């Protein structure tokens, strides 16, 4: 995965990130502190992507300032808390992060936009949900190979750091869509990428609701209520199919 990113030597850092930094900067609860201390083996800062290291301009608007992108790798011990550890590491770093997490033979990659905090001057917060995917979950070798090819930094926009980071995020979203459709296709426009992100979120929401409805229908003993639940399931299945069609 690291080789596939094709990070230039000028941007490489390759330094260990102490857990103390994570504990100080992500405002963890007592439970989160235990997850960090007990769940993380090590975190490495692989690269710092900024104008002086990759020649891509910074980005500023009214809500965010992208001066640098950090590429990190974390090795975790327990798969039970991997999702939360992704979030805690992203929250601890003031820059947008491309995070690679390994657990045994498994690997996940995550990204999340950052914006300026409205309550604390100079602080940054996550702007939206994390986008998390596992290349190994691809439905075919061709899908995984296409993703590995498209994730290279040389395939991303060089307009500014925000556009570069958005390109990475859209590539991971394309992988998530391919895990549903079986075909990996990079979005041809920002509008298509935004529509795909919306469709993916809607598909995931409907899947969760369908799981709950099916469980409720299986337990229901009243015939009238069973009929109502089955009708709701069919309606939601139609919405789910429509969302998948937009992927």
Cβ count near 16 (within 10 Å):
9
Residue 80 has what pLDDT? 67
Residue 54 has what pLDDT? 97
Q: Alpha-carbon distance 118 to 123, whole Å?
A: 8
In whole angstroms, how far apart are CA 164 and each of 58, 93, 105, 155? 10, 18, 28, 9
Residue 13 has what pLDDT? 96
Q: Alpha-carbon distance 184 to 136, whole Å?
A: 14
In whole angstroms, how far apart are CA 227 and each of 69, 112, 157, 220? 52, 42, 52, 10
Q: Alpha-carbon distance 123 to 29, whole Å?
A: 19
**pTM, full prediction:** 0.86
Residue 208 has what pLDDT? 87
Q: Alpha-carbon distance 125 to 147, whole Å?
A: 28
Residue 93 has what pLDDT? 92
Q: Are 95 and 114 in contact (CB under 8 A)?
A: yes
Q: Are 90 and 43 in contact (CB under 8 A)?
A: no
Residue 22 has what pLDDT? 87
Low-confidence ranges of the chain (pLDDT < 50): none
């Amino acid at each position: 995965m690291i080789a596939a990113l094709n990070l230039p030597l000028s941007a490489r850092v390759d330094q260990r990130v102490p857990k103390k930094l994570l504990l100080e900067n992500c405002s963890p609860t007592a439970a989160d502190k235990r997850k960090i201390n007990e769940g993380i083996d090590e975190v490495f800062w692989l690269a710092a992507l900024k104008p002086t290291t990759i020649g891509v301009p910074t980005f500023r608007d009214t809500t965010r300032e992208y001066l640098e992108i950090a590429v990190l790798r974390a090795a975790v011990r327990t798969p039970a808390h991997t999702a939360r550890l992704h979030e805690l590491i992203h929250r601890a770093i003031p820059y947008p992060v491309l995070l690679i997490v390994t657990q045994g033979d498994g690997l996940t990659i995550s990204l999340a936009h950052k914006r300026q905090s409205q309550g604390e001057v100079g602080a940054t917060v996550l702007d939206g949900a994390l986008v998390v995917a596992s290349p190994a979950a691809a439905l075919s070798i061709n899908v995984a190979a296409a993703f590995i090819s498209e994730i290279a930094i040389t395939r991303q926009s060089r307009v500014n750091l925000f556009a570069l980071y958005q390109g990475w995020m859209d590539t991971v979203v394309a992988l998530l869509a391919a895990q549903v459709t079986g075909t990996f296709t990079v979005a041809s426009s920002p509008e298509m990428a935004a529509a795909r992100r919306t469709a993916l979120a809607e598909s995931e929401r409907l899947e969760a609701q369908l799981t709950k409805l099916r469980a409720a229908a299986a337990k229901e003993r009243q015939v009238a209520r069973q009929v109502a639940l089955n009708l709701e399931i069919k309606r939601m299945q139609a919405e789910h199919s429509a969302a998948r069609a937009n992927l």
